[in-house]
């Protein structure tokens, strides 16, 4: 803008010739219009600069206001996250609450307790329970006799399923018939199959399945959230299975 305006205002030798007065008048009126145009442009630019400064000041005020308000309402948010410590009283209170809920749900004797704080869960059991490296926890009430089931064999068993609050969610006893399924066919929840693979016929075991070994979660499944599941299992029998083919028909027979 400055270079352009200076070049427009610079006189030329031909315009200084007095014999050509009309072009000089046109030049002077032209300069006047150019100066007026330049003045309006500078005025507009000044308004734009003022608007930019006002916008920057407004954003600064909003930032300072947000910073001051956040410091008032969250004065020690970062330090609290670093120095957060668990209160034993809160754990005892949660444990008592869990036991009271289990009692209302008629949970079985020596049922494990769960202390849930956000995504962290503590499982409280007696000394009779065993925890594996996978996270599975179990207790044998009766060991049973005979061989343990192998992959491909069919197992027949009764079970009762509970959630963390001790509420019964499923039972083959109430259905009137035991469950039958072949081992090693991905037909069972991973934690459930791991829990019965070393049982013997006649054995009774309580299995505590962590969420990572539990069933899938979602609207199309029976389970709506990732929780520990507890199963009381009674292994009734084990059968060998073989595939039978007759013509175009093929199936598996367990005897």
pLDDT digits (tens, 9 = 90+) for 158-214: 999 999 999 999 999 999 999 999 999 988 999 999 999 999 999 999 999 998 998
pLDDT at 11: 43
184 Rama sector, left if φ>0, alpha if ψ -120 to 50, beta otherwise: left
Q: What is the mean pLDDT of residues 23-38?
A: 49
* pLDDT per position as a tens digit, 77-99: 443 344 455 666 688 888 888 88
* pLDDT per position as a tens digit, 130-160: 999 999 999 999 999 999 999 999 999 999 9
- State the Cα–Cα distance between residues 11 and 7, nearest whole angstrom: 9
Say if residues 239 and 255 touch (Cβ distance below 8 Å): yes
Is the model more confident about 133 or about 45? 133
pLDDT at 225: 65
Say if residues 111 and 166 touch (Cβ distance below 8 Å): yes
- State the Cα–Cα distance between residues 208 and 232, nearest whole angstrom: 9
Tell whether the model's pLDDT for residue 223 goes beyond 90. Answer: no
- State the Cα–Cα distance between residues 113 and 103, nearest whole angstrom: 11
Q: What is the mean pLDDT of residues 39-55?
A: 52
pLDDT at 234: 98
Which two tokens mark 190?
A: 């991973």
pLDDT at 19: 39
- State the Cα–Cα distance between residues 228 and 163, nearest whole angstrom: 7
pLDDT at 72: 41
CA atoms within 13 A on the CB side of 86: 13
Structure pTM?
Answer: 0.63
| Residues found in the chain | 255
Tell whether the model's pLDDT for residue 26 goes beyond 50. Answer: no
Q: What are phi and psi of 9, to 5 degrees?
A: -85, -15
Q: What is the mean pLDDT of residues 235-244?
A: 93
Buried b (16+ CB within 10 A) or exposed e, 212-222: ebbbeeeeeee
Tell whether the model's pLDDT for residue 227 goes beyond 80. Answer: yes
Given pLDDT bands bounded at 50, 70 and 90, which one contains residue 12? very low
CA Rg, the chain, in Å? 41
Say if residues 142 and 118 touch (Cβ distance below 8 Å): no
Which range has the worst mean pLDDT, 6-15, 123-132, 183-192?
A: 6-15
Pick the closest to residue 97 from 189, 19, 164, 170 (CA basis). Answer: 164
Q: What is the mean pLDDT of residues 228-232?
A: 94
For the chain, the average pLDDT equals 75
Given pLDDT bands bounded at 50, 70 and 90, which one contains residue 249? confident
Distances (CA, A) of 49 to 46, 123, 243: 5, 65, 86
């Amino acid at each position: 803008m400055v270079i352009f305006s200076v070049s427009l205002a610079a006189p030329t030798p031909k315009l200084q010739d007095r014999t050509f007065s009309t072009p000089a008048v046109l030049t002077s009126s032209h300069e006047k219009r150019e100066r007026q145009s330049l003045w309006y442009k500078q005025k507009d630019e000044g308004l734009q600069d003022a608007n930019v400064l006002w916008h920057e000041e407004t954003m600064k005020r909003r930032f300072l206001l947000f910073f001051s308000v956040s410091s008032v309402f969250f004065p020690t948010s970062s330090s609290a996250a670093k120095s957060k410590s668990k209160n034993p009283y809160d754990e005892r209170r949660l444990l008592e609450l869990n036991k009271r809920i289990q009692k209302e749900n008629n949970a079985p004797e020596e049922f494990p307790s769960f202390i849930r704080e956000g995504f962290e869960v503590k499982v409280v059991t007696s000394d009779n329970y065993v925890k594996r490296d996978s996270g599975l926890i179990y207790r044998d009430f009766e060991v049973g006799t005979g061989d343990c089931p192998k992959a491909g064999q069919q197992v027949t068993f009764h079970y009762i399923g509970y959630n963390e609050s001790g509420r019964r969610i499923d039972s083959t006893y109430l259905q009137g018939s035991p469950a039958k399924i072949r081992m090693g066919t991905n037909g069972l929840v991973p934690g459930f199959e791991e829990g019965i693979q070393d049982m013997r016929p006649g054995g009774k075991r309580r299995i505590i399945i962590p969420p990572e070994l539990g069933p899938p979660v979602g609207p199309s499944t029976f389970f709506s959230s990732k929780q520990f599941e507890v199963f009381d299992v009674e292994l009734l029998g084990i059968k060998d299975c073989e595939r039978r083919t007759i013509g175009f028909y093929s199936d598996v027979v367990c005897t």
